[in-house]
Structure 1
């Protein structure tokens, strides 16, 4: 059964992303699993979050670590069983945690029974369940679409004598959403998990579902214009404007069907991953009107540097275009460099202050924050040598882009004296645990009242006592002077001003009125309408 209580919990609630294979290994095989997640749920609840997001645990050949699904209704044996999943949901609900899980609907594994049948002939019952197309007369692919993971988005199949489309790995064929039977089947698979008590879904590549039925070529990117999003600049994928291979208008109709299913289950929610050529506009379109996604996030904060003007302008653009839509905020996840290495590390100054300012900023924005496992410990991007890489993306794009393994290394639970940071009692974890991560282990930080981990706990507890921060309105503040990001959060007559120094140098700014601090661990000091912040400082106050 789903968890009772506030059915709009997701509006301003805090999610905690768990990458199961790197969270906790309960059986010593070097890979995290669902029983391991269950064992650590009490820790997650102690942070003060409202729910978890579980990355994929479905049956899969693991070519893309579970984002290549071979059975949408079962658990891969390396992670456990359906009974283990049910126990996880029950334990999470006992602790007051909602459970959202990944749904990878745009594509499946080539080992899925659907694809095996589809590729067997041109006239079988599932022949049109995937995106198939004839070669051009010269034998080349049907159009110029590219795979994010390198090369053409088309792979020739010798049995059908046709190409099939794959936006990602060759082993991840795209499902054909122009076939209504495909949509019906996927919606039934979604409902399978809702009936098991799941509270929501994180929708992988939510704007990739529908392709252009005419298979028209994408136009080239025009230098000097906004670079296409969704891949590092070294990837040829960014040399096209992705007009026809994704973010098609027909995508909206499927999201509306999905929302109708979700609305049958009170308190359920969806958060979509958006990676388009204009992600902010797409996020606004996909979350508006109350009939599509509940919320969505873009990759903007996940890949941007901490340049004050850039981040400030991006936030302003979000709130200018979003209307009644609802954003989800993530600054780290399993696909992008950890924020501790990316946001401001090169600027120097007090590193501990920097790592506190970052969550203070993104958890006080209007929207739903999502914390990625280990972020609360201050984990930086791990350096994984080429010979130990697991990520096919990194192996393909080495050395300019080293892939995603550096943000996926296992959680350190015990201190540096414990093998592999206490993640596993086996011989080797699937990715190495860097010594510098073990030095930041949960056990040590729990015992230190001044640790970053306990700061996260204090921050989220403070946040819960301020309704204007959870779901109030927001007004971006400009022209305060200094290199700061500032906004006001408002609910009724309550107005809290939030100011963040995004540099290592002290700064003094002029507030739009006199203010009284309302957060005991904020680092700014006020005198009338003058606010002084230390390097990487932040301030919350009533105004």
Structure 2
């Protein structure tokens, strides 16, 4: 077992938006295969494919109707086999998204389950009788708005849906459900995938007694844009039985060589602590949360989260990400911290790739891509459609890759793209950065090379220096010292015993002071460094 995942870098691909090979406006597996040399050239270790299974696409593939096939829009199983083989030729591991907390309501098992209370799949989903007054069995809420229970007239019962009404929750308290889900994952492992990204990994089990969730005790000036965040979800998810199922998942993967799992911790309270719980012992290999995928930023913010993880879970392993398909792009989200898009994008790359743990980077971030501004009529995402205009959903970070501004639709498709490719995004195209040594793309390549070159940046312990906001400074295994000015204004810090510069931007040592321009940073060889 090589533990290739420990400290590795995964490149997330949103298949609908990567490359369209047949000009239907939707990215596909053949298109991804065509672009694999580009990804390998970046210097990452693995790719993660967001869901590619058959689905009604009400939640863009996170509503699965068949767990062991490929959606026709993306191609065929044969196309997938070719992708796997080509990725492995190029030295890339392949991770696929597993959405097993819930299925589509079009899955044959749910269609059967809802027919009556006595069929073979009757207990495969979460069903409950109404209260005496006809209301749902408890106060649980859906992530996509409203209650988490939907009435079904055939069974005269409610079924649970933590997400869309069309995404009924599977009943993990039924051992047959667990066994079946594990069998579907075995199907892909035997087909050659190197691991899984587990969607909403803390949602699998619910409280068997169906107890009400308590309210968030913190008083708000007004209700949240999504009332889901006004509860502590201690009964609708985060159940202790979940950890035992993580061990079953790990046992399955341990039957195969060099496989790995990364879990998505869908939690806003104590997420770092839970990441540790889920990766300690024979559970998940690594886990990420939304702690660094929101608006929070700054030296103290980053320092506290890294320290919290390794204090709570010294034998666990995190996966850090600044962007993915669920949040606004980092160059837009944190624009107020940047001198300009390019300077901020390079700094964020250097920071993310210097953190202790594994790393996931989202397609387009290597270009310094920005969030796409969309009209309501252009949306496809249920979150945006339900919560507009206060929340505009996730489509803005999901628009297609910009490959070449000289080609129709920036080289993504010759058809009508499923989401628009607008001028600000086309301006950040790949072809325009490939031969520019100062581009964000080429900086990512340099920084990824540095991370491969220095094992300390992948797995070395972290020791933070006591620097004042907005300067973040730390040493990795007393071998590489990293200093970042996380602001658009110039700053300086006193430095002693730092060696040669490894990689830097806007940084110069003058008379014992490291002078950092806005978004300036430097990685040095550590010779017993002292920074203050």
In the alignment, which residue of structure 2 is the partner of 1:391?
A: 381
> Which residue among 76, 79, 83 is the counterpart of 2:78?
83
> Alpha-carbon deviation of 1:527?
4.8
Q: Any residues of structure 2 matched to 1:64-463 within 5 Å, and which?
A: 64-223=59-218, 233-276=224-267, 277-289=269-281, 291-343=282-334, 345-415=335-405, 417-426=406-415, 428-463=416-451
Q: Distance in 2 between matches of 1:150 and 1:405?
A: 18
Q: Distance in 2 between matches of 1:363 and 1:462?
A: 9
Q: Distance in 1 between matches of 2:341 and 2:60?
A: 33
Q: Distance in 1 between matches of 2:311 and 2:175?
A: 36
> Alpha-carbon deviation of 1:482?
5.0
In the alignment, which residue of structure 2 is the partner of 1:486?
A: 473
In the alignment, which residue of structure 1 is the partner of 2:507?
A: 524
Contact 2:310 2:316 in 1 (8 A): no
Contact 1:515 1:528 in 2 (8 A): no
1:194-239 deviation digits (Å, cap 9, x = unpaired): 00010010000000000000000000001169xxxxxx94210011
Contact 2:503 2:524 in 1 (8 A): no
Query: The residue matched to 1:242 in structure 2 has which SS?
Result: coil
> Alpha-carbon deviation of 1:313?
2.3
Q: Are 2:505 and 1:496 equivalent residues in the alignment?
A: no
> Alpha-carbon deviation of 1:315?
2.6
Contact 1:220 1:239 in 2 (8 A): yes
Q: Distance in 1 between matches of 2:468 and 2:146?
A: 47
- In structure 1, stretches of 5+ residues that fail to align are 1-5, 226-231
In the alignment, which residue of structure 2 is the partner of 1:506?
A: 490
Higher mean displacement: 406-415 or 345-354: 345-354
Query: The residue matched to 1:319 in structure 2 has which SS?
Result: helix
Contact 2:271 2:289 in 1 (8 A): yes
Over 3 Å counting, the alpha-carbon distance change for 1:330 and 1:430 in structure 2 is same
Higher mean displacement: 459-468 or 160-169: 459-468
Q: Are 2:27 and 1:39 equivalent residues in the alignment?
A: no
Query: The residue matched to 2:150 in structure 1 has which SS?
Result: strand
TM-score by length of 2: 0.96
Q: Distance in 1 between matches of 2:210 and 2:14?
A: 35
- In structure 2, stretches of 5+ residues that fail to align are 527-532
Q: Distance in 2 between matches of 1:193 and 1:476?
A: 41
1:403-448 deviation digits (Å, cap 9, x = unpaired): 0000000001111x3221111011x100000111111111111121
Q: Are 2:448 and 1:465 equivalent residues in the alignment?
A: no
Q: Distance in 1 between matches of 2:306 and 2:248?
A: 30
Q: Distance in 1 between matches of 2:198 and 2:402?
A: 28
The alignment covers a number of residue pairs equal to 524
Higher mean displacement: 275-284 or 405-414: 275-284
> Alpha-carbon deviation of 1:464?
0.9
Over 3 Å counting, the alpha-carbon distance change for 1:489 and 1:528 in structure 2 is farther
Q: Distance in 1 between matches of 2:224 and 2:492?
A: 37
Contact 1:48 1:461 in 2 (8 A): yes
> Which residue among 56, 60, 63 is the counterpart of 2:55?
60
> Which residue among 501, 516, 519 is the counterpart of 1:536?
519
Contact 2:249 2:283 in 1 (8 A): yes
1:300-357 deviation digits (Å, cap 9, x = unpaired): 10113323333332232223223111110111000001101012x1245243221111
Q: Distance in 1 between matches of 2:408 and 2:195?
A: 36
> Alpha-carbon deviation of 1:118?
0.5
Higher mean displacement: 32-41 or 348-357: 348-357
Higher mean displacement: 417-426 or 519-528: 519-528
Contact 2:338 2:344 in 1 (8 A): no
Query: The residue matched to 2:40 in structure 1 has which SS?
Result: helix
Query: The residue matched to 2:243 in structure 1 has which SS?
Result: helix
Contact 1:165 1:173 in 2 (8 A): yes
Segments of 4+ moved more than 4 angstroms: none
> Alpha-carbon deviation of 1:449?
1.8
1:157-199 deviation digits (Å, cap 9, x = unpaired): 0100100000000000000000000000001111100000100
